[in-house]
Amino acid sequence: MNGFKVMADSYRKAASEGQITQEQADKDCRIFDFLATCDQDDFCRLFDSSAFNEITKSYLRIAVKELTDEGTIDEEQAKAVRNRFSLLFDEKRANEVI
């Protein structure tokens, strides 16, 4: 049993115990059940589909902003990191970077 299956089962249990709604459990279980069937190649294909690009880039923007706010990097360095990160999405496929 993999971690995604465990997560789906925990949502089913939470719904049966009334901790969350059945509707919420069904949505979460649908995703975790699907992910439980995927291998690494499937995950790479999902990532390459661009479904997660904006979420990933948003995490990077937050990290870079925090680093500039802390004084760890300056704005020029932050811009370079953001630009390089964006280029990598165009230049590399997920299976090339892992």
Q: pLDDT tens for residues 13-70?
A: 999 999 999 999 999 999 999 999 999 999 999 999 999 989 999 999 999 999 999 9
pLDDT of residue 1: 60
Please tell me the distance from the alpha carbon of residue 12 to that of residue 15, in angstroms, as a whole number.
5
**Neighbouring C-beta atoms of residue 23, cutoff 10 Å:** 9
pLDDT of residue 56: 94
For the cut 90, the answer to whether the pLDDT of residue 89 exceeds it is: no
What backbone phi and psi angles, to 5 degrees, belong to 49? Answer: -65, -10
Please tell me the distance from the alpha carbon of residue 55 to that of residue 45, in angstroms, as a whole number.
16
Q: What is the mean pLDDT of residues 80-96?
A: 94
